[in-house]
A and B are shown apart, each in its own frame.
Chain A
Amino acid sequence: MKGAETVNWTKDKSILLSQICTAIFALLLAALDIGCYWAVHWFIRLRNMNWQKGIAFMVTIYLCSVFAWLLLYGLWKLLGNMKSGRVFVEENVRRLRTVSWCCVGAAVICFASCVYYLPFLFVSVAAAFMALIVRIVKNVFQQANAMKSELDFTV
Chain B
Amino acid sequence: MEILVNLDVMMAKRKISSGELAERIGITPANLSILKTNKAKAIRFSTLAALCRELQCQPGDLLEFKDDQDDQ
User: Which residues on A sit within 8 Å (CB–CB) of B34?
Assistant: 153, 155
> Interface size on B (CB < 8 Å)?
12
User: Which residues on A sit within 8 Å (CB–CB) of B40?
Assistant: 153-155
A5 interface residue per 8 A CB criterion: no
Distance of B12 from chain A, by nearest CB (Å): 20
- Interface residue tally on A, bucketed by range: under 10
User: Which residues on A sit within 8 Å (CB–CB) of B41?
Assistant: 149-150, 153-154
Chain A at the B interface: SS class: mixed
Q: Nearest chain-B residue to A150 (Cβ)?
A: B41
User: Which residues on B sit within 8 Å (CB–CB) of A150?
Assistant: 41-42
CA distance A155 to B47 in the complex (A): 7
Q: 23 pairs across A/B with beta carbons < 8 Å?
A: A149-B41, A150-B41, A150-B42, A153-B34, A153-B39, A153-B40, A153-B41, A153-B42, A154-B40, A154-B41, A154-B42, A154-B43, A154-B44, A155-B27, A155-B31, A155-B32, A155-B34, A155-B35, A155-B40, A155-B42, A155-B43, A155-B44, A155-B47
Instruction: Taking A149-B41, A154-B40, A154-B44 as given, write out 16 further A-B residue pairs in contact, using a Cβ cutoff of 8 Å, ordered by the A residue number.
Output: A150-B41, A150-B42, A153-B34, A153-B40, A153-B42, A154-B42, A154-B43, A155-B27, A155-B31, A155-B32, A155-B34, A155-B35, A155-B42, A155-B43, A155-B44, A155-B47
